[in-house]
């Protein structure tokens, strides 16, 4: 019996076993249920292919199939398919891991943006309140100026000082006036 087909099939079987171990890592890494079902189905198909490889490997040692000329071709195809399955599984595992990391980064970025948006909204409200305060103080100052220009109103310097301090406080840090 020629051992080359048996060696190819045995090597393909080892590659399929390592592919199944990658399936065991890949399926829990996938977070989307509809994709888990597809990958689980693929793992069952690889398992069936592995069982077929083992049956064919056993059949290679039977006297009726030991010297078939197609054994080498079939062994080469089985080995090639096993290499392809392993390469595909490694790529899928790397892709799923990368997607999981990227998803985590996107969620973190979204949380930061939401927090920053809340901060912007708070700042807008504070600025609107300060602007309203400034408008009121300016309105009082203009009224006082008009009254002083007409000379009709007697305004104490204490009241003017308070209004100016209020105005100064709204343009910089707010100060409490007693």
Residue 78 CB neighbour total at 10 angstroms = 24
Calculate ∠ Cα 21-26-30, nearest 5°.
160
Residue 53 CB neighbour total at 10 angstroms = 23
pTM: 0.58
What SS3 string covers 61-101? CCCCCCCCCCHHHHHHHHHHHHHHHHHHHHHHHHHHHHHHH
State the greatest distance between any 2 C-alpha atoms of the chain, in Å, as a whole number: 127
Give residue 175's pLDDT.
47
pLDDT in tens, 64-120: 776 777 888 988 999 999 999 999 999 988 888 888 788 888 888 888 998 899 999
Closest C-alpha to 75, from 1, 2, 6: 6
Q: Is the pLDDT of residue 170 over 60?
A: no
For 158, the token pair is 């204490």
Residue-range domain boundaries for the chain: 4-119, 125-171
Q: Is the pLDDT of residue 153 over 70?
A: no
Q: Is the pLDDT of residue 3 over 90?
A: no
pLDDT in tens, 23-35: 888 888 887 788 8
What's the pLDDT band for 154 if we cut at 50, 70, 90?
low
Give residue 156's pLDDT.
64
Give residue 174's pLDDT.
47
């Amino acid at each position: 019996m020629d051992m080359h087909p048996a060696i190819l099939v045995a090597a393909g079987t080892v590659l399929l076993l390592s592919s199944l171990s990658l399936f065991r890592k890949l399926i829990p890494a996938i977070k989307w249920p509809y994709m888990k079902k597809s990958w689980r189905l693929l793992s069952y198909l690889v398992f069936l292919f592995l069982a077929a490889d083992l049956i064919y490997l056993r059949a290679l040692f039977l006297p009726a199939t030991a010297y078939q000329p197609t054994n080498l071709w079939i062994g080469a195809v089985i080995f090639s398919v096993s290499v392809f399955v392993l390469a595909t599984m490694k790529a899928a595992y790397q892709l799923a891991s990368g997607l999981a990391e990227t998803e985590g980064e996107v969620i973190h970025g979204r949380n930061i943006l939401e927090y920053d948006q809340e901060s912007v909204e708070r700042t807008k409200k504070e600025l609107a309140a300060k602007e309203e305060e400034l408008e009121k103080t300016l309105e009082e100052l203009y009224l006082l100026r008009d009254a002083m220009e007409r000379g009709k109103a007697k305004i104490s310097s204490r009241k003017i000082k308070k209004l100016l301090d209020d105005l100064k406080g709204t343009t910089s840090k707010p100060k409490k006036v007693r």
